[in-house]
Structure 1
Amino acid sequence: MNSREGANAGRLSGRRAIVTGAAGGIGAALARGIAREGATVACVDINEDGAKEVAASIGEVGGRAISVVADVTDLDQVERMHAAASDAFGGVDLLVANAGGSRGEMVPFLELESPLWHRMIDRNLTSVYYCGLVCARQMASNGGGAIVVTSSQLSEVARPGMGHYAAAKGGVRQLVKAMAVDLAPHGIRVNAMAPGPTLTPGNRAMFERPEVAATHQHTIPLGRVADPEEMVGAVVYLASEEASFTTGTTIFVDGGYTIL
């Protein structure tokens, strides 16, 4: 274990977590980061092989993780996901609702068709509702917990061709606030982390194109895109007791993208 991994080890010791969208990119980094801090982790994804690989990598360094295959846009599958994690760990007191993303589906508003709109809303907003509802009901009956949702810098700013995605992620931010108000009496905190442009296997080829890299240098004050590992600190903080008086907020991890 390197110094970065061990510096704050144990902040989530004893926590029983579900991380959705855990097979790659930001989700894989979050699952591994939460495990480094002592949580047991259910790595959930529609990609069975990817989820298994991330869970195995956690086990290889002494953590405890399972993989669960689920489509989080399907309530029945979300309930089965929660049951699998609860059976394995004895309950769930931390949900990291990370699954979602735009998948590069950029469409000008005048060309935006209903199926794509609903697909984007289901993937990014309805999935949070389903996962939050199922997990919060169990947390409320067991003394509380924490929910951290992945939002986006596009919940704050607009970009061409991304109206459907911005609407979904803006809805996530407002849902987080509403959940925080309703769930506070039950000892459940709800917050969000909003990434800026982040380099993942799925977008690496696009982000490394010279013209795209040049654009990021001008639109991101820190002059570069993020690594998925740079999302971990904010999520660990929001999940931990260090954030015991923090609920209903969104932390932007975007290199300053939203301040310009």
Structure 2
Amino acid sequence: MKNDYLPLQGKVTLITGAAGGIGSAISYEFARLGSTVCMCDINDSRELADQIASKGVPNRPFPYACDISEYEQVKEMVQEITADHGGVDLLINNAAVDGCGTKNSFPEMSLENFKKTIDIDLSAAVWLTLLVLPGMREKKSGRVLFTAAPRSSSGVPCPYLAGKSGFISMAKHLSARYDKEGIKTLVLALRHTETPMIRRVIASKGINVEEGLKKMHAHSLTGRMITPREIAKLYAWFAVAEDSEVSSVSLLSDGGITYMR
């Protein structure tokens, strides 16, 4: 694949949850546009990095194994990325655990499960943002993006929703504080997305996965769920916008369910 359009060449992108359905699509798209992609995931993503490289992207992504629920691991990873690549220009807080099943929902959930989910789905994004902000402020340029969930979602485990909806307010605060320093934020709030995670959620409810997917597609007024590739394209649009006046915007992608039903 030959690509002469490389608007993100020279930019370093850190993506959490990079080995998942959405994260892998984002990793490929940003690598395709020339960015040095740092793939953060608790799982070994070297094979995925090789797969992306085999598609002819300008730079092979760099995998970083990290449990983002552990602050010290996050800190060490950011220090390593800074030493290897000179810092982070674009941070995509995408990682999440869904907390499927009754053990992570009201009223059966435990405090331990709640805290673990929040640490991954929300706290890690706070830590990462705090760690990369000094470098962005020094460069007077940066993008912080969030894969979130709308506060209006229903039927999803409480800890997941509590963590992901928190991104909306976090992005607004960051934008208000640092917009004049060239740091922009974007939130993409998702409800129905065709990913391995949504399959696990359906299975956890004792529903046939394929039948469940059909119903979810039909429930969207567009006739289908959004795909990871489409999400990656939206993030890329925001990342490449020069001197964008768009910041602190929360885009809702749910097939029209929230406002139209």
1:131 and 2:128 equivalent?
Answer: yes
Which residue is equivalent to 1:57? 51
Instruction: Give the SS at the match of 1:43.
Output: strand
Aligned residue pair count: 252
Whether the 8 Å CA contact 1:109–1:161 is kept in 2: the answer is: no
Q: TM-score scaled by structure 2? A: 0.86
TM-score by length of 1: 0.87
Unaligned stretches of 5+ residues in structure 1: none
**88-97 or 102-111: bigger deviation:** 102-111
Q: Which amino acid aligns with 2:14?
A: I
Aligned-CA RMSD value: 2.3
CA distance in 1, matches of 2:209, 2:145: 32
**d(CA) in 2 for partners of 1:165, 1:62:** 33
Could you say which residue in structure 2 is the equivalent of 1:140? 137
| Paired position in structure 2 for 1:150 | 147
Structure 1 counterpart SS, 2:224: coil
In structure 1, distance between residues paired with 2:164 and 2:191 = 12
Aligned to 2:86: 90
Displacement of 1:204: 3.9
Equivalent in the alignment of 1:116 = 113
| Cross-structure match for 1:165 | 160
Alignment match, 1:182: 177
C-alpha distance in structure 2 between counterparts of 1:11 and 1:26, whole Å? 21
- CA deviations on 1:89-110 (whole Å, 9 max, x unpaired) are 2222111111113142455422
Structure 2: stretches of 5+ with no match in the other structure: none
What's the % identity of the aligned pairs?
27
Structure-1 separation of matches of 2:99 and 2:162:
15
TM-fit CA distance, 1:243:
6.8
* Mapped contact 2:87–2:132 kept (Cα < 8 A): no
Give me the whole-angstrom Cα distance separating, in 2, the residues matched to 1:162 and 1:228.
Answer: 21
The residue identity in structure 2 corresponding to 1:215 is K
2:62 to 59, 66, 69: 66
Instruction: Say whether the 8 Å CA contact 2:69–2:116 is kept in structure 1.
Output: no
Is the partner of 1:159 in helix, strand or coil? coil
Partner SS, residue 131 of structure 2? helix
Shift of 1:44: 0.8
